[in-house]
Amino acid sequence: MFIRLSKMLPLIWRIRRPMLVVLLVMCISPIIFFSIDQAKDVIKDERDTGKLREKGKVKETMFGFKKGLKLTFKKGCKIPQVDPFSPGMIVQSVQLYIVLLIFQKSECRLVKDVLKDVRDVTCDYSNINYVNHRNYYYSYLKSVNGEEPVTLDQSDHVKVECTGRDLRFPNVSVHWRGVKTGFRNITLGPDDKHPYNVLIICLESVSHAGFIRNMKKSYKYITEQMKATILNGYNIVGDGTTGSLYPLLAGKTESDLKDPNDIGILPDNPNDLIFNQLKVHGFRTAYFDDMGLVTTPYQFKFPSPPADHYLRPYSLARRNGKPQRSLSHHCIESAPQYQMILNLVKDCLELDGKKVIFSLIDDLSYENFTFVPSADDSLLDFLKMMTAKKMLEDTMLIVMGDHGPRYTPTRSSHQGMLEERLPFMSLMLPHKLVKARPSALKALVGNKDVLTTPFDIYVTILDVLGVEEDYPPIVVEGYDYPRGWNLLTPVSKKRSCGEAGIMPHWCTCGTWTNVSKTDPFYHQVPHNLAEFINSMSDEERSQCIPRYLKTTEWVVHQTAEDYQSKLYNYFQKKQLVVNQAYRGDVTSLDDYYQMRIVMDPGHAIYEGTMIYIPGKDFFMITERDVSRVNAYGDESSCISETHPHLIKYCYCNNSAHSNNQIHKKIKKPKYSDDLFRFSFL
C-alpha cells in the first residue's frame, strides 16, 4: 500500500501544482502588502518630521505615537530614536538656579549671571503677609522684566515666579518659583537719642559647658579677643525655650502674664515682649528664628508680629503646608539655616536707625546636638566681621544659649541635669558705654561668678538702652531686692534662688541628699508625681491614654536654706484660695523632694520637684515643677495643635504600639490620708 502511494505522489503534484501555487500566493500576499505599506509609512514619517518641525505641528498615528519618532529596523527589538527637540514634546522644563535673586536691603533683583544664559525673563512678585503663627496670605506686589528691581513695601517676604527662555536650548522654557526674604522700608518713630544697639544671638539647647566643648574657636575669640564677660552662674528659671525667653524678653514669666489655665491655649501677646514697646523710642526691632523653618515645631502663637522684622511668614510660605520633614533638613537654598540667620542679622545691623535684634538658631541642636560644632567657623567669621566693621562701638552683643540639652543621652546623668539648667551666657558692652561708664564694666565682671538669671539680662538691656525708668522693678513678696537685677551694678554674692525668682526644681545652688528605699517617702512621692502627670491629661482622656508608674530611678531630699518656698514665690494667692491648699503664712522652712520616674506606655521619663510643708503635713506641685527628659516624638500628635501644653504628658490612642499598651491594667496608687494630703495647684 505504501509503495502504491509513493508512486502516486508525483502524479498528484503534476496535476495539482498550478492550484497549490495560487493558494500559496494568496496566503503570503497580505503579508507582503502590509510590509510594503509599513515601509512607505516609515519613509513618509522621515520626510514629514522635517516639515512638521518647521511648522511646529505634530500629528498622531492610529497607534498614538508621535510622528517625530524614527524606527530603526534591526533584528529583535526595534529601538526608537527619539528627537529630544521634537516640537510637540517641548513643554515647560524646569531649571533651578541656586541663587536667582539677591536682596540689597529693600530691593530685590535678578542675579546678573542668570541673564547670561536666559532671555525674556519675567518675574511676578507677591507679598507674603502674616495672619497668625499658622496662617499667611499672598497679595500682588509687582511684575518686572529682566533685572528691573522690586522694592519691598508691605512685607519683608515675597513669593517670586520667574519664566524665561534658555539661550543654549531655545525650545526649553525656564521656570523658577520660590520665596525670598529681605527688609521692607519702614518709618521709624522719633529718635530719643538713645546711643546704643542690642544684638542677641541665641543658640538652642547649648549649655555653658556645651559651648566651651563644641564652639572652641568662637569661645576663644569671644573671651580672648572680644574680652566678653562669661556668666558662670547663669541659671534658667523655667522649662524649655519659652520658659527662658519670656523672662529674657519680657522680664516676666509666662505664668506672670497669663492665667495658668490659659498657658499653651491662648495666643501669646506680642506686646508683652520688649520689641514693640521700644518702637515708641525710635528703635528698629527684629525677631529672627528658624523654629518651624524646616523640622521643628513653633513655640510662640503671636496673633500679630512681635517686631518690625519677623521671619515667621517666610517660614510658613516656604513650608507651604508640607509636613515638617518633607523639606531638606538644615539648608535653605545653598546655605545652612544658621548661616541664613547670621546673614539676616548682618544685613539688619547695616540698616538705618538704632536697633534691637534677637536671633534664635534652633536647627543646630533641636534634634541632634552633634551638629553644633558645624556652626563654629560661621559664628567666628560673624564675630570677626563685627570687630572689623567696628560694630561693637555702639552695640551690646549677647551670645547665649536658651537652656542646655534636654533630650540627649547625657541628660540622664547628674551633669546633664545641671547643664540643662546652666546655659551659656556672654555679654559684651558697647565700647562707647565702657568709656563713658567704666564702673559698669567693673560691676559686670564682678558679677560673673554670682547667681544670675534671664530676669537680670532683661533689666541690664533696659539700662544699656536707656529706658529702665519706663519699667519699674519687680520684687518678690517677702524679699528686699528686685527679682531682676541690673548686672551693671554689683550683685550680692549671697543671693539665693528664692531672691532671684528661681523655683527649687530649676535651682542648681542647693545640696540634695539621697532618700533611702526604706523611707516611706521614697515610694509615696513618685506615686504622687505619677498621679499628677495623669491629672494633666484628664481633660483629653478620650484621646490620651493614662500612664502608669513603671520604675523609680531616684528620690532626693533638700531642706530649704532660705524662705524661697514662701508660697508667693510659686503660686499666686488666688490659686491657693481656689484650691484651698493653703491658709496663712508659712513660718517654717519647707522640705523639697525631687525624683525621676519612668512611666508607660511610651517609656516616658519625668523629673519632678514637690514641696512638702511639715507644719501643714501635705505636698504641693505645679506644672512648672515637672520636666520631661526624653524625646516624645509623635506620641502626642493627636493634641499637639489644639493642646500643646499637654504634649509632654499625653500618649495618644493612635500612637505606635498603643494597642498593646492600652489594655494593660493601670494600678491606681493608694494614699494614706493621715500622712499625705496631696494638692495639685
Work out the burial of residue 117: count CB atoms within 10 Å of its CB; fewer than 13 is exposed, 13-18 middle, 19 or more buried. middle
What does the mean pLDDT of the chain come to? 79
Whole-structure pTM value: 0.79
pLDDT score recorded for residue 445: 98
Question: Which of the residue ranges 10-24, 50-64, 89-103, 441-455 would you say has the lowest mean pLDDT?
Answer: 50-64
Q: Is the pLDDT of residue 630 over 80?
A: yes
Concatenating the DSSP letter of every residue in 5-16 gives HHHHHHHHHHHH
Strands 135-145 and 229-230: unpaired
Residue 484, C-alpha cell as written in the block: 531682676
Residue 58: name the closest of 29, 75, 83 by CA.
Answer: 83
pLDDT at site 487: 98
Q: What is the mean pLDDT of residues 386-415?
A: 91
Write the CB contacts of 417 (distance below 8 Å, at least 6 apart in sequence): 411, 607, 629
Residue 497: the pLDDT is 84
Cis before residue 260, ω within 30 degrees of 0?
no
Angle at CA of residue 77, ends 42 and 44, nearest 5°: 5
How does pLDDT run across 356-400, given as a tens digit for each residue? 999 999 877 766 667 888 899 999 999 999 999 999 999 999 999
Predicted confidence (pLDDT) per residue in 64-121, tens digit: 334 444 444 444 444 445 454 445 433 343 333 344 667 777 888 888 777 788 888 8
Looking at residues 35-58, what average pLDDT do you find?
Answer: 45
What percent of the chain has pLDDT above 90?
Answer: 43
Helix (H) / strand (E) element for 356: namely strand 355-361
Spell 472-490 as b/e; 16+ CB within 10 A means b.
eeeebebbeebbbbbbbee
Task: Report the range of poorest mean pLDDT among 61-65, 83-87, 222-226, 599-603.
Answer: 61-65
Q: What is d(CA 601, CA 423) in angstroms, rounded to the nearest whole number? A: 31
Mean pLDDT, residues 273-281: 92
Mean pLDDT calculated for residue range 454-480: 87
pLDDT of residue 573: 44
| Gap between the Cα atoms of 260 and 473, Å rounded | 23
Cβ–Cβ contacts within 10 Å for residue 668, how many?
Answer: 11
Tell me: pLDDT of 461 over 90: yes
Provide the CATH number for the domain formed by 197-500 in this structure: 3.40.720.10
- The letter for the amino acid at 196 is Y
Q: What pLDDT, on a 0 to 100 scale, did the predictor assign at position 513?
A: 92
**More confident of the two residues 302 and 29:** 302
- pLDDT category at 319 given cuts 50, 70, 90 is confident
Q: State the residue for C-alpha cell 540689597.
A: 104
Ramachandran quadrant class, 658 (left: phi over 0; alpha: psi -120 to 50; beta: rest): alpha
Rounded CA gap, 577 and 584, in Å? 10
pLDDT digits (tens, 9 = 90+) for 184-207: 999 888 776 788 999 999 999 899
d(CA 278, CA 355): 9
| pLDDT for res 259 | 75
Q: Can you give the pLDDT at residue 173?
A: 83
Res 457: pLDDT: 98
Q: How confident is the model at residue 234 (pLDDT cuts 50, 70, 90)?
A: very high
pLDDT of residue 168: 82
Written in H, E and C, the secondary structure of 372-425 is: HHHHHHHHHHHHHHHHHCCHHHCEEEEEEECCCCCCCHHHHCHHHHHHHHCECE
> If DSSP codes are grouped into helix, strand and coil, which group holds residue 193?
coil
What pLDDT, on a 0 to 100 scale, did the predictor assign at position 64?
A: 38
What are phi and psi for residue 282, nearest 5 degrees? Answer: 90, 10
User: What burial letters (b/e) apply to 174-211, b meaning 16+ CB within 10 Å?
Assistant: bebebbbbbbbebebeeeeebebbbbbbbbbbbbbebb
pLDDT digits (tens, 9 = 90+) for 499-552: 888 888 998 887 889 999 999 999 999 999 999 999 999 989 999 999 999 999
Which tops the pLDDT comparison, 640 or 403?
403
pLDDT band, residue 642 (cuts 50/70/90): confident
